[in-house]
Structure 1
Amino acid sequence: MFRVLPALSLLALATACAGPERIAAPAPLPVPLPPPVQTAAPRAPDGAAANLVIPARLPDGSYATPNRNVSAAATAWHLRAAFNVAALNCNDPALAPAYNQFLKVHRGALKDAHRALTREYGDVAAFDPAMTRLYNYFAQPPVMARFCATAAPLLHQLAALPASELSAMAPAALAQLDRPFTDFYARYDAWRVDLAAWRAGSAPASPRLAYAAEIFRAETDIGGGTVTLAAR
């Protein structure tokens, strides 16, 4: 006599014979990338302000400073102005006596230079404001340290120079005194270029999503009707 197995029992038996069920691993979820690192804005050189007005750069790469292409009288008198600023502003007590010696040794040449330069400007009313601008030029705070380092040995050298030799030495000495300023202007212009490039690239990028699949690990062979995911 034959017995008919219940349908449910037959289904369970078929399922058991079929082996463990394979369940596909879940698709990885999108993971946002960290925002781009924003670098700090480049700083102006030598602690300078961000809005300085500096002399124009000429086609040959030089700068239109007050000491460029000046007469012999202006060269001598500009030296005097530079050394005066150095004696008053540089942290070197030996500079004041050296400056007084410079004035004493070269009194005649400086007197002639003053007279001739005043005539170049037309009168004292035009000469005096120009000299104020010249003193302010030599006293620029961002350049002071380098200016003092240049002016100190030059002042001692020219204070010991015979009066007859000042006119021959003055052009090269003034060019040396001007160099810290033109070097600073070149650094300042380079900083402006760097700042413009930084500003152009500093806009925050749009958020981006990407898949980091290596952090989504799953067991795909799953038996007993239970899904087991490995720890993340």
Structure 2
Amino acid sequence: MIDNGQGRRRLSLLAGSAVAVTLAALAGCAKPPPPPPPPPPVVVIPPMPTPPMGAPLEMRVPAKAEDGTRQTVNYGISTSQTIWNFRSAYNVAALNCVEVQFTPILEGYKRFLKVYDKSLDRASKEIDASFRTQHSGRAAIVARETYQTQVYNFFSLPPVDSSFCQAAMEVSAELNTVEPSQFDNWSYTGLAKLEAPFKAFFDAYDQYRADLAAWQSRYGSNGLITVRPNAEQVMAQPVVQPQASVPQAQ
């Protein structure tokens, strides 16, 4: 016969074991908590594009014709005007390229005026006659001077100074091989070489505008975007930045 006290203890132990087994089974069936949401993607904003060669943020550049040629002051001009525009460009170089390394430009320009004086005189007279066919009296002089000012201003564009002076150095050396009888035809080559740095700058400026438009479309149009540090920034300072304002190009 089982003692009542021992029976109760045995039943208690059995009940405790059953509860423990039940709790363990329930724990095994429970789903783990969901993982935390991933952090927002890191947005690394590249610098806003800037104009080439220190140019202003906004400026007008000559447009391109249908054939892709820049419509500058040297576009579609006569031989006589080509000669005179070359003279004007070379004059600007002689006046503006004053650094020691560009000394040959001034000496070359002085030689140029003497060696090719006949071609220059003839070109000037033909240009005067051309303006007189479109204007009368004093108006013809004013029209030529106005155009000439545009030519000088074109070749005086500050961002292009360095590359323009280098081109003038090369032209000065090449002129030593050009006979006076060949100069009229060569003037197209000479003018193209002096104009090339400006066309390269205009192309670079057009690319800057395209890059700026793309940057603004992606990073600047909404005004505010979420900015989080990249891996290197986290190592340096593990602080997540809140929203930062993205400047709009003016």
Verify same fold: TM over 0.5.
Answer: yes
1:102 alignment partner in structure 2:
112
1:14 alignment partner in structure 2:
18
Residues 102 and 160, structure 1, Cα contact 8 Å, conserved in 2: no
Q: 1:58 to 1:26 in 2, by over 3 A?
A: same
Residue 30 of structure 1, CA deviation: 1.7
Higher helix fraction: Structure 1 or Structure 2?
2
Q: 1:19 to 1:106 in 2, by over 3 A?
A: same
Q: Does 1:88 align with 2:105?
A: no
Corresponding residue SS for 1:201: helix
Residues 151 and 177, structure 1, Cα contact 8 Å, conserved in 2: yes
Residue 99 of structure 1, CA deviation: 0.7
Give the counterpart of 2:86 among 79, 85, 88. 79
1:158 alignment partner in structure 2:
175
1:5 alignment partner in structure 2:
8
Tell me, which stretches of 5 or more residues in structure 2 are unaligned? 133-139, 227-250
Give the counterpart of 1:136 among 145, 153, 174. 153
2:240 alignment partner in structure 1:
none
Corresponding residue SS for 1:32: coil
Corresponding residue SS for 2:44: coil
1:229 alignment partner in structure 2:
none
Moved more, 113-122 or 45-54: 113-122
1:210 alignment partner in structure 2:
none
Residue 14 of structure 1, CA deviation: 2.1
Give the counterpart of 1:121 among 131, 143, 148. 131
1:27 alignment partner in structure 2:
34
Q: Deviations over 1:2-58 (max 9, x none)?
A: 415277655323234558443542221223324422111222222222211011111
Corresponding residue SS for 2:103: coil
Corresponding residue SS for 1:38: coil
Tell me which of the two structures has the higher relative contact order, counting C-alpha pairs closer than 8 angstroms and 6 or more residues apart.
1
1:58 alignment partner in structure 2:
65
Equivalents in 2 of 1:154, 1:206: separation in Å? 52
With normalisation by structure 2, the TM-score equals 0.73
Q: Deviations over 1:134-168 (max 9, x none)?
A: 01101112222222222212123325643332112
Give the counterpart of 1:195 among 206, 212, 217. 212
* Number of corresponding residues: 207
Residue 120 of structure 1, CA deviation: 2.2
Residues 49 and 215, structure 2, Cα contact 8 Å, conserved in 1: yes
Residue 66 of structure 1, CA deviation: 1.0
With normalisation by structure 1, the TM-score equals 0.78
1:38 alignment partner in structure 2:
45
Q: 1:163 to 1:16 in 2, by over 3 A?
A: closer
Q: 1:206 to 1:193 in 2, by over 3 A?
A: closer
Equivalents in 1 of 2:207, 2:141: separation in Å? 38
Tell me, which stretches of 5 or more residues in structure 1 are unaligned? 208-232
